[in-house]
A and B are shown apart, each in its own frame.
Chain A
């Protein structure tokens, strides 16, 4: 399978627009994430998976979720992220609008065998969870130098 990828060029003027186009393009692509086995498409939290030269990055939008309530579990090839989102309101308050849903969530994905789940790291900032999973040492691309003849 030939892999021709459009690498997003970060032109400062429309960096956001080119990122949005790139994400749209992958969203509509027929082979999207076919090997990831991500559970529950369309279920909270919305998840994007990216790759760079060092491994994979899983990003989830989790606004209103306390980082302490997130449980990120790695077992074998499966990464499971679960937690609880609450939308508390004081007693006696009357709602004018309630668009934000609350409840528990759990999503899992299967990663490829060249990723090392034991070295995964997660950060949660501004309601965005980022999990970085590096490639195993032997799977990292090796630079081959050209020797002087």
Chain B
């Protein structure tokens, strides 16, 4: 069976909100998956230093933002380009099953990983059948 080749597509620009700083902002690709205890989110943010990441939860909306370092490109003349460089931002509405106080984050190899633990009452509970 032939292996499917990884492909890229043009980065999607963030539309809707205008930001005060000039420059296009892109929407990072994310994976969201759920385990019994938490919701996990992984966002591709290559070129972003963890110091410039901002994660906020406001009114049940989770927003993640990251900024790239433009100085890495100083004095470089582009010869061939496939991707553009820009900051990343994305927003998600959280269900109230998430305990926003205990959200934790880490950054590895340009991927932002968030753990969104489920609130106690939302965890699946097994009900045992008691012998009569």
Contacts and interface: CB of A to CB of B under 8 A. Distances in A.
Contacts of B109: 62-67, 126-127
Interface residues of B, number: 50
A96 B79 contact: no
A57 B76 contact: yes
Contacts of B47: 61, 126-128
B77 A7 contact: yes
B16 interface: no
Contact of B5 (A33, A40, A87, A95): A40
B70 A10 contact: yes
A42 interface: yes
A38 B32 CA distance: 33
A95 B31 CA distance: 8
Query: Chain A contact residues (Cβ within 8 angstroms of B): what range?
Result: 35 or more
Nearest to A33: B80
Interface stretch (B37-45, B56-64, B97-105): B37-45
Contacts of A90: 35
A105 B46 contact: no
Contacts of B72: 128, 130
Closest 8 CB pairs of A and B: A127-B110, A33-B80, A16-B23, A44-B6, A63-B110, A46-B83, A127-B46, A50-B76
Interface of B: 3-9, 21-24, 29-36, 39-40, 42, 44-49, 68, 70, 72-87, 107, 109-111
